[in-house]
Amino acid sequence: MSRHPVAPDSVHVWRGYKAPQKGYGDFSKFLGTVFVPSCALLQPNAGLCAYVPTMVPPVGKPAGVPDQTALMFWADQDHYAGAFKKVAVRAYTNLHGDAYDTTLSSAQFPVQFAGDLKAEQPYFLLNRKADWMLGYVYHFVGARPQSQAPKDFIAALATWASSYETHHKSSVDNALLCVGNDYVALWEHSATADGSFGHGIGNLATPCLDRVAENYVPPATLWDDWPGIDLDAHACINIQLVRPERQNDST
């Protein structure tokens, strides 16, 4: 399988909150039967290079923590913008419908961390290219401790991020961080599964999700009989996309 390493600012970092009128079961079913598999099958030919969707376990999760997260890596930001020139991507984009609370849900490209954290701005902590579809993706989602003010929570995470470049697990080649007033989300990418992930972030937030993503191979194409993905059974997945070959991808 050829590699598709991409720059760390070529990822759309999604934090989704279910629409208030939707029950969690319906939300999970919609995402699993249509939304997540559509993203995985409609967009690689438009430049999607890696896709890591995650359902955050709902039991005990504070409302301010996203119900779903996703990383969507593109060849670069121009490919993301250009994807809308294609019918397949326009159709996928029209799907958002009423699944999400659109006043809270959003996605942005990250910027390089430079000492301060701004709520709802994703950051990359290491400035290296990586192919997130291959290897291991660790994901942590945590809630702000109730006793801590949002400002102090974010400041503590900024301090944590400041030491990341010199103290992270050695095999990690890329990491993404996004904080809100009530949550923190961290993703790390590594070529190996050994050693500990997270660099101690679990000491700063109440864990809602703390695991390595499962590699998931879709068993069907767009036009096969297939009910979709059971996201209760496969809650945090690194979907193995069928990517078109690119030139100069062997490095």
Partner 1 sequence: MSSLFAIGPGAVRVWRGYRAPTMAQDAFFKNLGTVFVPATVKMQIAIGLNCYLPSVPAGLPGKPDTVPDETAILFWGTQDTYTNGFKTLAVRTYTLTHNAVYRPPSGATFPEVFAGTLTSEQPVYLFDRSADWMKGAVRHLLGSRPAALTPADFQKKIAEELASIQKAGQLEGAIACAGDDYLVYWELGPASAGRLDGLVANLAWSKLIDCVPTAIDAGLWNEWPGMTINSGDGFNMQFQRRWEA
Contact set with partner 1 (CB under 8 A): 33-34, 37-38, 41-42, 45-46, 82, 85-88, 90-92, 94-95, 97-98, 220, 222-228
Q: How far is the CB of 9 from partner 1 (least distance, A)?
A: 23
| 38 vs 240 by CB, closer to partner 1 | 38
Checking phi first, is residue 199 left (phi over 0); if not, alpha (psi -120 to 50) or beta? Answer: left
Q: How far is the CB of 22 from partner 1 (least distance, A)?
A: 13
| 42 vs 172 by CB, closer to partner 1 | 42
Cα dihedral across residues 198, 191, 9, 76: positive or negative: negative
| 5 vs 37 by CB, closer to partner 1 | 37
Q: Which of 168, 181, 159, 243 has its CA nearest to residue 15?
A: 181
Structure tokens at 52: 């890591």
| 191 vs 222 by CB, closer to partner 1 | 222
| 91 vs 191 by CB, closer to partner 1 | 91
Cα dihedral across residues 92, 93, 97, 103: positive or negative: positive
Structure tokens at 163: 């030491």
Q: How far is the CB of 46 from partner 1 (least distance, A)?
A: 6
Q: How far is the CB of 226 from partner 1 (least distance, A)?
A: 6
Q: How far is the CB of 84 from partner 1 (least distance, A)?
A: 9
Q: Give the type of residue at 198.
A: G
Q: How far is the CB of 223 from partner 1 (least distance, A)?
A: 4
Between the CA of residue 79 and those of 68, 74, 105, what are the distances in Å?
Answer: 24, 6, 22
| 88 vs 158 by CB, closer to partner 1 | 88
| 18 vs 139 by CB, closer to partner 1 | 18
In order, the DSSP letters of 92-147 are HHTT-TTTB-TTT-EEE--EE--S---TT--EESS---B-TTSSEEEEEEEEPPTT
Which residue's structure tokens are 């961390």?
Answer: 113
Structure tokens at 58: 């709902």
Q: How far is the CB of 110 from partner 1 (least distance, A)?
A: 26
